[in-house]
């Protein structure tokens, strides 16, 4: 660019009194340096919400934010284009819906050619119990499976703690005892009766007892 400016200046200065292009050349040089720094040191694609670490919320959606290289033009959430809000050219925000329990949110960044530029993921737990519980969900992961029977057995015989004893009272007897994991395993693997309410959705205990569930 400098030679072009110099030749133009030489042609014009004798007839028009054009000023030296030194200031223009200085400005263009500074901008060139700045742009090259941006290209050579782009921001890596990353989720910055909660430092990228897992977190828990009671909301039905989570607002995520992070950084992206300048060539990113689209972000996929769960394989579908997300409604991205660009705060700056490298800073983005978007909302993701959450199902009750644990959600693994995977984001993929694409360039104009729809080629992958980077990816990031975060684990978000939605606590939707609102003071209720799921009967059988002894380990509090919002699912009822064999791990809950194991958790109840550890509570009974190894001293493990249970956050919601009502959830471990699978037969709704008002006491957590050996029959509870047996009833749950019978339901899971032999087609036995389902646990009494609240099951399979979370809710309050319809038969109040001395067991607690904060």
What's the rounded mean pLDDT across residues 172-184?
95
**What DSSP element (H or E) covers 122?**
strand 116-126
pLDDT digits (tens, 9 = 90+) for 127-165: 766 667 899 999 888 889 999 999 999 999 998 888 889
Q: Which residues contact 208 (CB under 8 A, 6 or more apart)?
A: none
Q: Is the model's pLDDT at 189 over the cut of 60?
A: yes
pLDDT of the residue at 173: 93
What's the rounded mean pLDDT across residues 191-202?
91
pLDDT of the residue at 120: 96
pLDDT digits (tens, 9 = 90+) for 42-79: 678 999 999 999 988 877 789 999 999 988 999 999 89
3-state helix, strand, coil in the chain (%, to 5): 30, 25, 45
Edge to edge, what strands does the sheet with 55-57 contain?
A: 55-57, 116-126, 101-110, 74-77, 80-81
Using alpha carbons, select from 72, 78, 61, 69 the residue that is nearest to residue 121.
Answer: 78
Q: For CATH 1.10.1330.10, list the domain ranges present in the chain.
A: 130-214
Higher per-residue confidence, 131 vs 26: 26
CATH of domain 130-214: 1.10.1330.10
What is the chain's alpha carbon radius of gyration, rounded to the nearest angstrom? 30
Q: For CATH 2.60.40.10, list the domain ranges present in the chain.
A: 46-126
Q: CB of 145 within 8 A of CB of 152?
A: no
pLDDT of the residue at 19: 66
Superfamily of segment(s) 46-126: Immunoglobulins (2.60.40.10)
Higher per-residue confidence, 186 vs 132: 186
| Mean pLDDT (the chain, rounded) | 85
Q: Is the model's pLDDT at 125 over the cut of 90?
A: no
Confidence of residue 13 (pLDDT cuts 50, 70, 90): low
Using alpha carbons, select from 4, 31, 3, 5 the residue that is nearest to residue 20.
Answer: 5
Percent of the chain at pLDDT exceeding 90: 51
pLDDT of the residue at 38: 58
pTM of the model: 0.52
């Amino acid at each position: 660019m400098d030679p072009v400016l110099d030749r133009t200046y030489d042609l014009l200065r004798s007839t028009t009194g054009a000023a030296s292009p030194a200031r223009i050349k200085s400005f263009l040089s500074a901008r060139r340096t700045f742009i090259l720094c941006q290209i050579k040191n782009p921001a890596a694609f990353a989720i910055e919400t909660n430092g990228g670490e897992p977190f828990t919320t009671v909301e039905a959606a989570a607002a995520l934010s992070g950084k992206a290289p300048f060539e990113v033009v689209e972000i996929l959430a769960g394989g579908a284009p997300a409604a991205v809000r660009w705060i700056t050219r490298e800073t983005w925000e978007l909302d993701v819906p959450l199902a009750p329990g644990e959600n693994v949110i995977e984001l993929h960044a694409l360039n104009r050619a729809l080629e992958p530029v980077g990816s990031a993921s975060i684990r978000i737990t939605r606590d939707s119990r609102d003071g209720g519980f799921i009967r059988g969900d002894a380990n509090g992961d919002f699912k009822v499976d064999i791990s809950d029977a194991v958790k109840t057995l550890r509570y009974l015989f190894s001293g493990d703690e249970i956050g919601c004893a009502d959830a471990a009272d699978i037969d709704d007897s008002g006491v957590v005892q050996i029959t509870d994991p047996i009833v749950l395993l019978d339901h899971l693997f032999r087609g036995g009766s389902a646990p009494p309410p609240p099951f399979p959705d979370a809710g309050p205990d319809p038969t109040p007892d001395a067991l607690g569930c904060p």
